[in-house]
Amino acid sequence: ITINLAPADLKKEGPGFDLPIAVGLVSLDPEKNGGFQEGALEKCAIVGELALDGRVRPIKGILPLTIEAKKQGLKAIFVPKDNAAEASIIEGIYVYGISNLREAIELLQGEKNVKPEKLDREAFFKSRRNYSIDFCDVKGQLHVKRALEVAMAGGHNLLMLGPPGTGKSMLAKRLATLLPTMTEEEAIETTKIHSVAGMIDSKNSFLATRPFRAPHHTISDAGLLGGTSNPVPGEVSLAHNGILFLDELPEFRRSTLEVMRQPLEDGYVTISRAAGKFTFPSRFMLVAAMNPCPCGYLGDPKRACNCSPIQIERYRQRISGPLLDRIDLHVEVPAVNYKELRDDSGGESSEIIRERVETARELQMARYASEDVLTNASMSNKMVARHCKLDHTSESTLEQAMNELNFSARAYNRILKVSRTLADLDGATDIEVQHVMEAIQYRNLDRDFWS
């Protein structure tokens, strides 16, 4: 028996061919065509791994396979039972969950009546969009919460700086709860990436909440971007449509941080291997956190810093200027005092803040409807000049800050973009002086820390 997997120039990988090959062998019966109903195989895709006892085992990447089957005009797809919930997300194609080889054959022969998987999409999406954490859990830090709201509203990258134990990681983990609810298209796109990476199971078949990825600082370049001989999505792609959080930013290898600049700028990452080129989307928000010095207590009013000036300088130089240029907001996170810790009144919930963020995002989508941009952070220099015009008072305020604080030209553009976001949060058509003044304070680390 010769089995031909055409086209020959396309590399085939994975165990998903087991089930269709076995079904094809059964269909070789010259008299009965395997007993299959007429035309049963013509508009049907079959995929799955076979165990030695005939059980059908789940495979990676079932969601993109189902989408492609639908694009090819197929009416049905046979998938492993454990993959059925994931595949049934796609409308317009019948999805049959198969437990073993005999079940697949009997279904094609018409001897077994198996109903296709059905999904109550509205209820399913609603149940998956609940977060177990909330911004009201965070005590104090009102000015930091404001900066995080601004970052989420405009899609701005963010750096938090402060001593250990001030809540930087706790704040970062709750950032995804402030982002606008994922659309169905975004959710499917995000789930496809995680499906290819083999991170989808029967209990968690769909991602309707924005991903939050927090890799350890020992991660390799391939782990961050994606790679290996058989390329799989890296952390920058797994964070697509969500947040990539880099805690202890200076502890990451400088080379690892540098390779992240391209996907951060372009929104996708391309991996070249002998088997070909692979492109994965990587449109994410970068949120980073770091201590001000190796011991963490530089500038802390209660604990003394033990680091020498040389140690502090070396610590800071681990982060390159080009990477910092891509971070719009720098915010200091001080220690929370006892009174704030004991305050049980609670702050604003994530839902309340998210409503303001969504309103600001809607204004941006309307403004950039004819351009290939979704948020203020993505504006080009020409767009900044067009959409971030200042009145005389605002212009004078920004000019004074540029001269006194020695901001760079890149910092100038960042200030204008953040000012535009602050105006959107206030529902203002034009940027006003208070928006410029608040945006300037988010660049103070350029002077106080990095210079």
- For residue 205, the model assigns a pLDDT of 65
- Write the pLDDT tens digit of every residue in 388-408: 999 999 999 999 998 888 888
Looking only at the bridges linking them, the beta strands covering 94-98 and 243-246 are unpaired
Q: What is the pLDDT of residues 134-170, one digit of tens each?
A: 888 888 888 999 999 999 999 999 999 999 988 899 9
Element (H, E) at 394: helix 392-405
Judge whether residue 448 has pLDDT over 90: no
Q: pLDDT tens-digit profile of 65-87?
A: 999 999 999 999 999 998 888 88
* CATH domain 156-344 topology: Rossmann fold (3.40.50)
CA distances in angstroms from 231 to 193, 222, 225, 273, 283, listed in the order given: 12, 9, 10, 8, 18
Checking if the pLDDT of 417 tops 90, the result is: yes
User: Could you tell me the residue ranges of all domains in the chain?
Assistant: 18-119, 156-344
Q: How confident is the model at residue 91 (pLDDT cuts 50, 70, 90)?
A: confident
Say if strands 243-246 and 212-213 run parallel, antiparallel, or are unpaired. parallel
Report which of residues 446 and 319 the model is more confident about.
319
Q: Which residues touch 284 (CB under 8 Å, ≥6 apart)?
A: 213, 236, 239, 240, 241, 242, 243, 244, 264
Nearest Cα residue to 419 out of 400, 399, 402, 441: 441
In single-letter form, the type of residue at position 182 comes to: M
Q: What is the predicted pLDDT for the residue at 298?
A: 87
Under a CB-based contact definition with an 8 Å cutoff, are residues 375 and 154 in contact? yes
Do residues 246 and 213 touch, judged by C-beta distance below 8 A? no
pLDDT tens, residue by residue, 435-445: 999 999 998 66
Whether the pLDDT of residue 126 is over 70: the answer is: no
| Helix count and strand count (H, E) for the chain | 21, 14
Do 137 and 174 form a contact (C-beta atoms < 8 A)?
A: yes
Q: Return phi, psi of residue 245, to 5°.
A: -105, 120
Residue 99 in tokens: 């437990």
Cβ 398 vs Cβ 191: under 8 Å: no
User: Domain 18-119: which CATH class?
Assistant: alpha beta
The pLDDT of residue 439 is 95
Query: Is pTM beyond 0.85 here?
Result: no
- At 50, the amino acid letter reads L
Residue ranges of the alpha helices (H) in 34-183? Answer: 62-71, 84-87, 101-109, 121-128, 142-154, 168-173
- Phi, psi at residue 232, to the nearest 5°? -125, 160
Alpha-carbon distance of 375 to 361, in angstroms, equals 7
